[in-house]
Amino acid sequence: MSKLTATLDRATEAVHDKVATYIPMSKASKIAKMFVLAFTLMMVMPMQAHAAEFITEAIDILGIVIIAIGGGLGIWGVVNLLEGYGNDNPGAKSQGIKQLMAGLGLILLGIFAIPQLETLLPTA
């Protein structure tokens, strides 16, 4: 518990030093700030053990969401492209091909780039 208290004191001092240069604070706001900081630390400390699992799961979900958005945009682009060819509308064809390429780009981003985030983020 003393480790938590020491960490809390150091964090409070660091925040106070930064904030004091920008905003003069009343005694009540300093106490409120200390309680918010203590509550945040109490909530974060137990979560550190599961941080790696959370990061892995969040990156997987992010990849799936980006691939789904890319797929939807690609399908919308194909529909606009076919509508442009059907009505002989060069504007719709242009918009359709742009949407199709953007959708394919998002799909490739979700497949190749998003999983690389896991190597960039520190794990506990």
**Is the pTM of the predicted complex or chain greater than 0.85?**
no
Measure the CA–CA gap between 51 and 59, rounded to whole angstroms.
Answer: 12
Please return the burial class of 16, using the count of CB atoms within 10 Å of its CB with bins 0-12, 13-18 and 19+: middle
The whole-number pLDDT of residue 124 equals: 47
Q: For every residue of 61-74, which 3-state class applies, written as one string? A: HHHHHHHHHHHHHH
**CA 53 distance to own-chain centroid:** 16
CB 66 within 8 A of CB 113: no
The whole-number pLDDT of residue 30 equals: 75
The whole-number pLDDT of residue 6 equals: 73
Measure the CA–CA gap between 103 and 114, rounded to whole angstroms.
Answer: 15
Q: What is the pLDDT along the chain (124 residues), one digit of tens a residue?
A: 567 677 767 777 776 666 666 555 567 777 787 778 777 777 766 665 577 777 888 889 999 999 999 999 999 999 999 999 988 889 999 999 999 999 999 999 999 999 898 888 765 4
